[in-house]
């Protein structure tokens, strides 16, 4: 760990303290919210109301996922067993396999953030690599990075390939716990679909229609949110990616590998503070309900390298500019190979 990173990490260590009461109330709230919204989707007759309720079910899935994500980092509750079981159950609505997420996210993404070959989350291709792809795969990459394809990226590249029964090529160290956890998630999905079908029959609704509203649409909303969130965390014209381990280690300061996307006051609560990301990447033991003060502490110290106020104009600009990456020049390019960012490293004292 670099000296700068160690100093920053020590500066927010005081925010690690967990509150089991706060964690329990948050978990209860989000579990009841999911159940209430799903129940509304199942029982109301209006398809317009079903669609609105189902969309909010997708948002509630995202909120529960963030709790599971925290628990997987052992930061939500103070007890490791509580965290393990909370993580497994909070992950179920998003169909996320706890042990596989732990292996890929905790031991891969967090340890080697933005290092090509070790971090697999929204890793950009170089121009030569992109040009060498089959036509269909090039079209898919264009779709992923269009903004419309965020959900497809998460479903195909992350969930299907790495988070539910991955092959030994994807996970050479696959263990029995990974298989059992995937089976657990698959059983939950089957029970969810069967229960929805049962409600449809009992209430004289279309089985296909209700499965769409009460299962498929919430999952599609969740995956679109997830794909967008992780894209915004790790893609920005001023954010650097690396292929050289020594350069990556030399530049690593703890906060410049991720974007702090800011919103109007109070809106971070909608997604359980998941967009307060630099503080989380610096110290994963800071629980989600203390990330705000921890991030403010880093901001006051001038440590956050890339801070970006969310707007659709900013999102469109990032989507337009961040297609491919020149790892030698450390510059973003479009699909035609034209440079779209400056050739300079990011420093912690730069402005937004």
| Bridge partners for 115 per DSSP | 242
Q: What is the pLDDT of residues 64-123, one digit of tens each?
A: 999 999 999 999 999 999 999 999 999 999 999 999 999 999 888 888 889 998 898 999
If pLDDT is split at 50, 70 and 90, which confidence band does 349 have? very low
C-beta of residue 278 within 8 angstroms of C-beta of residue 346 = no
Q: Give domain limits for the chain.
A: 18-264+307-333
Tell me, what's the pLDDT at 2?
59
Cα-flanking dihedrals φ and ψ of residue 331, to 5°? -135, 145
What is the three-class DSSP state of 15? helix
CA distance 221 to 57: 8
- What spatial distance separates the first Cα and last Cα of the chain, rounded to whole Å? 26
The pLDDT tens digits of the residues spanning 265-285 come to 878 888 999 999 889 988 999
pLDDT tens-digit series, residues 140-179: 999 999 999 999 999 999 999 999 999 888 888 889 999 9
The answer to whether 17 and 293 have CB atoms below 8 angstroms apart is: no
Q: In this structure, are residues 260 and 308 in contact, taking their beta carbons and an 8 Å threshold?
A: yes
Residues 275-332: tens digit of each pLDDT: 998 899 889 999 999 999 999 888 887 776 688 899 999 999 999 999 999 999 999 9
Question: Crossing angle for the helix pair 291-300 and 3-11, nearest 10 degrees?
Answer: 130
Distance from C-alpha of 299 to C-alpha of 296, rounded to nearest angstrom:
5
Q: Could you tell me what percent of the chain has a pLDDT over 70?
A: 95
Sign of CA dihedral 104, 90, 229, 303: negative
Which tokens hold the place of 252? 């690593």
pLDDT tens digits for 219-246? 999 999 999 999 999 999 999 899 988 8
Rounded percentage of the chain residues whose pLDDT exceeds 90: 72
Strands 331-333, 324-326: pairing is antiparallel
Angle in degrees, CA 234, 235, 238, rounded to 5: 110
Q: How confident is the model at residue 350 (pLDDT cuts 50, 70, 90)?
A: very low
Confidence check: pLDDT of 351 > 50: no
Instruction: Please check whether residue 200 is in contact with residue 206, taking contact to mean a CB–CB distance below 8 angstroms.
Output: yes
Distance CA 324, CA 291 (A): 31
pTM assigned to the model? 0.92
């Amino acid at each position: 760990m670099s000296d700068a990173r160690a100093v920053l990490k020590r500066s927010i260590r005081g925010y690690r303290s967990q509150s089991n009461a706060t964690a329990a109330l948050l978990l209860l709230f989000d579990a009841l919210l999911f159940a209430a919204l799903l129940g509304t989707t199942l029982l109301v007759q209006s398809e317009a109301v079903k669609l609105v309720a189902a969309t909010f079910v997708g948002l509630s899935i995202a909120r529960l996922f963030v709790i599971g994500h925290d628990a997987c980092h052992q930061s939500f509750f103070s007890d490791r067993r509580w965290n393990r079981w909370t993580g497994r159950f909070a992950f179920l609505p998003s169909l996320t396999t706890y042990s596989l997420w732990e292996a890929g996210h905790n031991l891969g993404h967090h340890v080697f953030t933005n290092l090509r070959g070790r971090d697999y989350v929204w890793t950009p291709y170089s121009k030569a690599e992109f040009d060498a792809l089959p036509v269909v795969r090039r079209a898919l990459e264009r779709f992923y990075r269009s903004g419309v394809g965020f959900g497809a990226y998460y479903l195909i590249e992350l969930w299907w390939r790495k988070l539910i029964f991955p092959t030994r090529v994807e996970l050479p160290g696959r263990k029995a716990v990974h298989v059992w956890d995937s089976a657990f998630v698959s059983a939950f999905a089957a029970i969810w679909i069967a229960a929805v079908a049962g409600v449809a029959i009992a209430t004289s609704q279309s089985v296909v229609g209700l499965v769409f509203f009460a299962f498929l649409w919430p999952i599609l909303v969740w995956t679109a949110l997830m794909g967008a969130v992780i894209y915004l965390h790790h893609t920005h014209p001023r954010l650097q990616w690396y292929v050289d381990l020594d350069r990556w280690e030399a530049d690593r300061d703890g906060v410049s590998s991720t974007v702090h996307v800011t919103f109007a006051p109070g809106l971070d609560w909608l997604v359980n503070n998941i967009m307060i990301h630099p503080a989380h990447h610096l110290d994963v033991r800071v629980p989600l309900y203390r990330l705000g003060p921890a991030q403010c502490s880093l901001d006051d110290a001038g440590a956050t390298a890339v801070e970006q106020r969310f707007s659709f104009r900013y999102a469109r600009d990032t989507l337009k500019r961040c297609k491919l990456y020149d790892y030698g020049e450390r510059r973003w390019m479009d699909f035609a190979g034209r440079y779209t960012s400056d050739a300079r490293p990011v420093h912690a004292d730069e402005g937004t």
